[in-house]
Structure 1
């Protein structure tokens, strides 16, 4: 187990380092932030002075290694826009993203699991047809389009809910609903397929032949094994949501991590971009590491292997 954990931690470190490296060099292609930060009509000398103050006049590789060493100490530099530590700028947006992601994941998982179980247990009925059509539409509908339609209906036409921003529980409804639609649809389809596959296994038929209660067979022999691929999907979705849903946070003007990264890209604020993407990558890797560990709980064969 120790060796397994060590291997996963090394893989996680390599993955985060790869993301940091790619983001560093790609962000430098965006342009020169000094040009955006100086006053209108500033001369070349003022631009050069600002570049020197920001450390952008040094060779690219020197900037890269200096950035890596600083990040290992938790220092991502000073935000060009906010003139304070970039990591602080990103971290203060994390609660907004985490609360929205948690809400969407909770309701999406509960609704998706219930719908998937109904579709599997009532195979060949009208209920299964309705669930699967709804799940297919939920997965196929672009989240940005759904978000805009919900704003037009509930905010513009009916005037029941705020169009965007954060502050009260009402602000969570539209973005949370938009995100949970995709989550529930994805989980419903996968869980139904997984349950049907497990139901056809020999050990399930053996359990039924032994006279075990249907509830015992379903929860102990079917559902437990069917959850393994579902846990994988939940882990991936959770990592994406906790990293900040860029589209939804932009549509609803939600003050989260995804939105601050977009604002950093628009302003060519390298420290904020680096801090934001590194945090997203770390969250995604950490969540998926937890998923790997959960495999051993759901299936002892994986733990022994």
Structure 2
């Protein structure tokens, strides 16, 4: 188990380093932030002075080396826009993203699990047709379009809910509902497929032939083994949601990590971009690391490979 854990930790560290490196060099392609920070008509001397103050006059590899060493200490520099530590700017948005992601993941997983189980247990019936049609539409519908339609119906037409922003439970309903539709659709389709595959296994037929209760056969022999691919899906979705659902946060003006990264890209605020994407990468990688470790609990054969 220790060897399995070390290998996964090494892969996680390598993935985070790769993301940080790519983001550093790609962000430099955005342009020169001094053009946005200085007033129009600023002299070349003012531009050069500001570039030197920000450390942008050094060779790119030297900037990368300094930035990488600072990141290892948790220092992403000072935000060009906010003039305070970039990591603080990103972390203060994390509770809002966590609330939105947690709401969407909880209700999406709950609805998706129930719907997937119904579709598998009632195969060939109208219930399966309705569930799978709804799941297909849920996965195929662009989230930004769905969010806009929900705003038009519930906020503009009915006036029941606010169009965007944060501050109350009412503000959370529409963005949480929009994200949970895709989550539930993905989980329902995958769980149905996984359950049907497990139901065909020989050990399931043997358990039924031994006279075990149908509930025991389903929960102990079928559902437990069918959860492994579903856990993978949940882990990936959780990492994406916690990392910041940029589109939804933008549509609903939700003050989360994704929105602050988009604002930083528009302003060419390199420290905030690097801090935000690094945090997203860490959350995504750690979430998937926990999923890998959970595999070993669900199926001990996996950690022996």
The normalised TM-score by structure 2 is 0.99
In structure 2, the partner of 1:270 is 270
What displacement does 1:301 show?
A: 2.0
List per-residue Cα deviations over 1:239-291 (Å, max 9, x = no partner).
00000000000100110000000000000000000000000000000000000
- Written as runs of structure 1 = structure 2, the 5 A alignment for 1:41-56 is 41-56=41-56
List per-residue Cα deviations over 1:101-156 (Å, max 9, x = no partner).
00000000000000000000000000000000000000000000000000111111
List per-residue Cα deviations over 1:19-67 (Å, max 9, x = no partner).
0110000000000000100012211111111111111111111100000
Distance across 1 between alignment mates of 2:121 and 2:134: 17
Distance across 2 between alignment mates of 1:19 and 1:106: 28
Alpha-carbon contact 2:4-2:303 (below 8 Å) kept: no
List per-residue Cα deviations over 1:78-103 (Å, max 9, x = no partner).
00000000000000000000011000
Distance across 1 between alignment mates of 2:239 and 2:76: 22
In structure 2, the partner of 1:190 is 190
Distance across 2 between alignment mates of 1:291 and 1:9: 13
- Written as runs of structure 1 = structure 2, the 5 A alignment for 1:153-302 is 153-302=153-302
Distance across 1 between alignment mates of 2:62 and 2:303: 44
Alpha-carbon contact 2:151-2:163 (below 8 Å) kept: yes
Most deviating of 170-179 and 43-52: 43-52
Distance across 2 between alignment mates of 1:237 and 1:85: 29
List gaps (5 residues or longer) in structure 2: none
CA RMSD of aligned residues (A): 0.6
Distance across 2 between alignment mates of 1:154 and 1:42: 48
Most deviating of 148-157 and 175-184: 148-157
What displacement does 1:4 show?
A: 1.1
In structure 2, the partner of 1:62 is 62
Distance across 2 between alignment mates of 1:301 and 1:17: 30
Q: Secondary structure at 2:301's aligned position in 1?
A: helix
List per-residue Cα deviations over 1:151-204 (Å, max 9, x = no partner).
111111111111111100001000000000000000000000000000000000
In structure 2, the partner of 1:95 is 95
Q: Secondary structure at 1:300's aligned position in 2?
A: coil
What displacement does 1:300 show?
A: 2.2
In the alignment, is residue 71 of structure 1 matched against residue 71 of structure 2? yes
Q: Secondary structure at 2:254's aligned position in 1?
A: coil
List gaps (5 residues or longer) in structure 1: none
The normalised TM-score by structure 1 is 0.99
Q: Secondary structure at 2:95's aligned position in 1?
A: helix
What displacement does 1:296 show?
A: 1.4
In structure 2, the partner of 1:5 is 5
Q: Secondary structure at 1:82's aligned position in 2?
A: coil
Distance across 2 between alignment mates of 1:264 and 1:299: 43
Distance across 1 between alignment mates of 2:152 and 2:43: 46
Stretches of 4+ aligned residues off by more than 2 angstroms: none
In structure 2, the partner of 1:14 is 14
